[in-house]
Structure 1
């Protein structure tokens, strides 16, 4: 009997400790239909992604049309795949509930009527052009679409279909409603560019846009929870109650027609956030899906275990490297915790880390991936789009801050391992480094991505070439990507991007309200007034706002909204745009590990079976550098590679030592255990090194030297006291 080549390779390389890391993970409310229906949905998902890659790389479409297909198609697929119900192990009842079918019928009929009307628009039947009456198509299209959508959304809340193996008929018609909205706005785009948000807008425009807003918020609730929905809902209410609000919140108010038609344009939902999700985000999610389908992600994790798994606290150090790398690519903190944490967290617990510490380390590492260049979870591209600063400049500026953050997490991991006398995993249980090192060509897709970007190629071309590289590289492994595997990668990309599409569209609602009401400008003015002439006070307020916005909200949406509200005020105060946006982005990312709402830490706690709040506090401590580094950047812009190389080296070394001292204070361990007084002393020394000046560096180094001498018993406390006299 011939040996299986895959098994033979695994035996040669040692234990495949990362097996399953690249397996698809299913959300608790995600449907898993049977073979035929499942294959049909897979083809729809693959086609959706292929459409995007084709438009981006081969044949561009008009931006409004492309973004409407992006949002409408994403919503339709989302409603087909994700339910309002949370499924258990039981697939649910197989029979159809007749009462529920009867209740679905009115909403389904209304949406079907609106859909047929929208199809008629494509043939010139009943077009709501400039000459049409203001209330044209309201009874035959507007009310049926909106009321049918409201009816079926409400039915899903109160009477969900609990079967995981079939499609919910109510959600099928909600998918039809999403397509209907897209069809209406696509066909009427030439008119809407002139009349949206003005007194010329037609009521049918308003009904289509209002239904679209409802469907976006419902899909965001299903995929990202209530936090962003509540925030977006409050902004929508704010657009109508402005005349009755005090102070800077007051505005004249807007009619429903003006508001909804304005918010569903390129000033809102179809604006910067959707521009980003329909280009950079879906492109790099697709790249991540290709790496996942080709099993390269497993190689990354196995490589990290082979290199560092045997070291003191090895699994935790592997989590820092592996999760950081994977988080950089996939762009979702909590999702990355689920993907890699199922492997790293149990191994961390095995070598001695407590459950809450294991979950916290994974959360801190996964969140840090989004500040790790060159991809930064698509953050570099988003920042470039918003600020106009070249991508390469942003990536270069991000290198030192990201290294400082991961150094902090590693210092904490190592000091905790020292403190509790932990060891690594036995070498015989780890993959062989020499074998995996011979497969270093699997890093080629990322190397090609970086090289093409820095060679001046467009982001889109670089991303497509990186996908092609991932496919070709897979041919040198037992997991060769053929046509079926490539389609599988495109299918995975669609599923992985749905949450980001929904939250970017929901964030677009907020951005639209900010632009319509002018609250962003007034808030920036308030920020300036509260801070006076102090930039540091303004940055402190910016930190608080960015963290609050990011609680429960994915990084992309949190950064986009915070940048709209806060960044103009910071720039107006004289802070460089790059520094202002880096500052906001860092805190938007770190909101994922900031109590009381820390989604990444909660995901880690679920896997580690620890207390979520205690885990989030622990994750906050491990990632504490991310809350200090932005202020270091403000004090020393050389950390963003700005200035002479000698200055860059000086402030980097100073900041790195400061981060080490900060980690020592957090863990209560330097060259030995630190009592409470010495912990405070070391923490103060770390903070002294934020400034990056020679005087403060001397204070920090001097304080560290004193603690070292005390712990080495070279001096006694009384000697220091006598010297002070």
Structure 2
């Protein structure tokens, strides 16, 4: 009887995974949340492109908003919208079958308390709006007038904090159905709107110039306290406790730093002064929110449009058609597909869930262990964060912080990304060779000619790259790419009409919640660093270490960057590490681009670095392997990325800096060095390597990686010696399987 062959076709890769805390509304509430999410995303697209509602309506009414909005107000609305949408979408505790309709018996006391807390929340919102009418009426608001202080404390701040803290506690204790609105969460959303209303109202007075001084209205500090608490709570819901714990430690440091010794000692800062500044462009509304409110949300919309046209499924099927028949084929497919998907979606763990659900079982099918299958997917998905041109939004934050043009950053990332993915590819290829694996059969795979006929699905990304290098702004290029994704969809069965475009904006609004609130939370840490001066003192510490050894200083910076990034999404990890570590590296004399790429790489690699490796843990959940073992293996698979940043320091040509002859030289020798490094780690080079030969090959790899002509010659010589020895030993009966 002929064996039944099941054809591999990727489906559902574009579907956004549902978080365990995400509510599943039905009926009218589903429509309302979807409408709000779509309007929220579309509002950003309109504002970023400088559109005017007046131009749409032809009506000149004074209350219609003008685009682009004032920068500060735009960021305040950006954060507040994400908080409101986030609290209505994500529950305080994990939702499971126990939260199904009919299984939950609401606690009447908690429900009544939640309704009661709605009153102070609405009262604070009304007070904030009332303050706006007083200011418009000519009242000069400041932090000195006793009457104004009394109004802010008792009519705005106290009700706001009571509602915020009370609703958070109730939401922790309350159990609600997964498809029902939690009144406590509604209260928290109103509190977020109240904070935004007050800050927007105060912007026209002394807010920008008076923060951190006695003239700052006390309400700014009270609003910032409530806003900070709301950001931390929503971060806990959507991103876990790691970033929250780190943020709280930094917040505690503000007030205990005066008692700490050495470089950790900080000046005394009152709570009023600190919080009057932390919700400004020195903190929450600073670089991280600047990027999330512009580039990041724009590319989330772009990703949502690509998902609507099922481009993700095509990426994976194309990868299977190209690489599926190679030995260990599914692992190589994982590298290709996860790199493309991870570049766009901006989260290592999320990318693992999206593509790993298909590639990990297939890797196990062809012979990879559960541990190795999960590790390859984790390493490949993490690599997507360093893949130009999008780089998981990290490039945009780097451009915002450093002032270096985005296109220069994208170009500089090309060679390091090639080195990383080449190393992962070689690692899986050597593993497949050691185990004698074969690829998948032709009959199991999508047909390459069919995939090539749909190659136009790459067109939006091609347009994005072409527009960027043609000199268009990132916003204009992203908008053109988004529009082209809708146009390209008309050549597929998944045509985007008005309904599908609405769904794409809706999906983008929901997808943006996590990254926006994570960036806002990272802004808290950035604010602490800038306001306490701990970053400058850390720079001095690195300078002290560098007097003994620059390599030691770099190693210390690497450890700090990884430590700060553990358990955090990539964007937040880099933003925090860039504030703490990068200035110190620049003070060592390292060029700014090199220093920030050094920090960025290790912040990204925290996703596969034991013991806290989010991408590896997500992969282990799919493969069924031990999470710690998977993280150790993914660390080994991605070992090149831990070497590449040190190569930046010794060979700036790897970042496209310098003469072309030097760039080509260091790129070629570094690639050869990465090949030898993979061979040393896996113990395979034209056959099995004995331990002594593995050591020699590892030494040759490090010599090739350093980038000097002399070291390259030494490395080539050692590699040639190992080749001669190996081919001399492995002859006749002693020849290893696969040596030929």
Tell me the TM-score normalised to structure 2 length: 0.93
**Match for residue 141 of structure 2?**
129
- Offset, 1:128: 8.1
2:32 is aligned with 1:40:
yes
Contact conserved, 2:324 with 2:440, CA < 8 A, in 1?
yes
Bigger Cα displacement from structure 2, 309-318 vs 201-210: 201-210
Q: Are residues 1:104 and 2:114 paired?
A: yes
Counterpart in 2 of 1:170?
A: 184
Q: Give how far 1:203 is off.
A: 2.3
Q: 1:20 aligns with which of 6, 12, 30?
A: 12
Stretches of structure 2 lacking an aligned partner (at least 5 in a row): 1-5, 52-66, 732-740
How far apart, in 2, do the equivalents of 1:511 and 1:90 lie? 39
Are 2:298 and 1:283 aligned? yes
2:580 maps to 1:560: no
Contact 1:593–1:599, Cα closer than 8 Å, also in 2: yes
Match of 2:41 in 1: 49
Preserved contact between residue 315 and residue 347 of structure 1 (Cα < 8 Å)? yes
How has the CA–CA distance of structure 1 residues 128 and 559 changed in structure 2, closer, same or farther, with 3 Å as cutoff?
farther
Match of 1:222 among 220, 237, 247: 237
| Inter-CA distance 459–149: structure 2 relative to 1 (3 Å threshold) | same
Query: What is the CA deviation profile of residues 580-622 of structure 1, one whole-angstrom value per residue up to 9, with x for unaligned ones?
Result: 0110001111110000000011110111111000000000001
Deviates more, 1:435-444 or 1:563-572: 563-572
CA shift at 1:90, angstroms?
4.6
Aligned residue in 1 for 2:86: 78
Q: Distance in 1 between matches of 2:131 and 2:90?
A: 30
Distance 2:331 2:581 in 1: 36
- Show the counterpart of 1:68: 76
- Larger CA deviation: 283-292 vs 87-96: 87-96
Query: What is the aligned partner in structure 2 of residue 147 from structure 1?
Result: 162
SS state at 1:712 partner: helix
CA distance in 2, matches of 1:322, 1:342: 12
Is 1:443 equivalent to 2:453 in the alignment? no
Contact between 2:366 and 2:439, CA under 8 Å: does it hold in 1? yes
Residues 124 and 294 of structure 1: is their aligned pair in 2 closer, same or farther, counting only changes over 3 Å?
A: farther
Query: Which of 221, 233, 246 does residue 248 from structure 2 map onto?
Result: 233
Name the CA distance, whole Å, in 2 between partners of 1:146 and 1:696: 63
The corresponding residue for 1:719 is none
Where does the alignment leave 5 or more consecutive residues of structure 1 unmatched? 1-13, 717-725
Residues 316, 244 of structure 1: alpha-carbon distance in 2 compared, 3 angstrom cutoff: same
Verify the 8 A CA contact 1:117 1:140 in the aligned structure 2. Answer: yes
1:274-331 deviation line (CA, Å, top 9, x unaligned): 0011011111111111111111111111111111111111111010000000100111
Displacement of 1:518 after TM fit? 1.0
Find 2:495's aligned residue among 480, 486, 489.
Answer: 480
Give the counterpart of 2:382 among 364, 367, 374.
Answer: 367
Q: 1:114 aligns with which of 112, 116, 124?
A: 124
Distance 1:637 1:195 in 2: 43
- Aligned-partner Cα distance in 2 for 1:390–1:598: 31
Q: Could you tell me how far 1:122 is from its partner in structure 2? A: 4.3
Using the TM superposition, give the Cα deviation of residue 503 of structure 1 relative to its aligned residue in structure 2, in angstroms: 1.1
Distance 1:347 1:120 in 2: 62
Q: CA deviation at 1:691?
A: 1.3
Equivalent residue for 2:225?
210
Contact 2:332 2:425 in 1 (8 A): yes
Which of the numbers 193, 196, 207 marks the counterpart of 1:182? 196
Once residues 689 and 156 of structure 1 are traced to their aligned partners in structure 2, the CA distance between those partners, rounded to angstroms, is 57
Relative distance call for 1:585 and 1:207 in structure 2 (3 A) is same
- Displacement, 1:535? 2.8
Aligned match of 2:600: 585
Runs of at least 4 residues off by over 6 Å = 125-128
Partner of 1:7: none
Give the C-alpha shift of residue 533 in structure 1. 6.0
> SS state of the match for residue 713, structure 1?
helix
Cα distance in 2 for partners of 1:603, 1:541 equals: 28
Partner of 1:354: 369
User: Shift of the alpha carbon at 1:95?
Assistant: 4.8
Answer whether contact 2:110 2:174 (CA < 8 A) is retained.
Answer: no
Instruction: Name the stretch that deviates more: 114-123 or 378-387.
Output: 114-123
Query: Does structure 1 retain, via aligned residues, the 8 Å contact 2:674–2:705?
Result: no
Moved more, 539-548 or 116-125: 116-125
Q: For residue 714 of structure 1, report the CA deviation from its aligned partner.
A: 6.0
- CA RMSD, aligned part only? 1.7
What does residue 331 of structure 1 align with? 346
In the alignment, the residues of structure 1 paired with residue 502 and residue 68 of structure 2 have an alpha-carbon distance, to the nearest angstrom, of 22
Give the corresponding residue for 1:249: 264
Partner residue of 1:720? none
Q: Is the 8 A contact 2:347 2:392 kept in 1?
A: yes
The partner residue of 1:387 within 392, 395, 402 is 402
Alignment of 1:688 onto 2:703: yes
Q: Write the distance in 2 (CA, Å) between the matches of 1:24 and 1:505.
A: 22
Q: Deviations over 1:468-508 (max 9, x none)?
A: 00000000000001111111111111111111111111111
Distance in 2 of aligned mates of 1:75 and 1:591: 27
The CA deviation at 1:243 is 2.1
Contact 2:557 2:581 in 1 (8 A): yes
SS at match of 1:26: coil
Q: Give the TM-score, by structure 1 length.
A: 0.94
Q: For residue 3 of structure 1, what is the aligned residue in structure 2? A: none
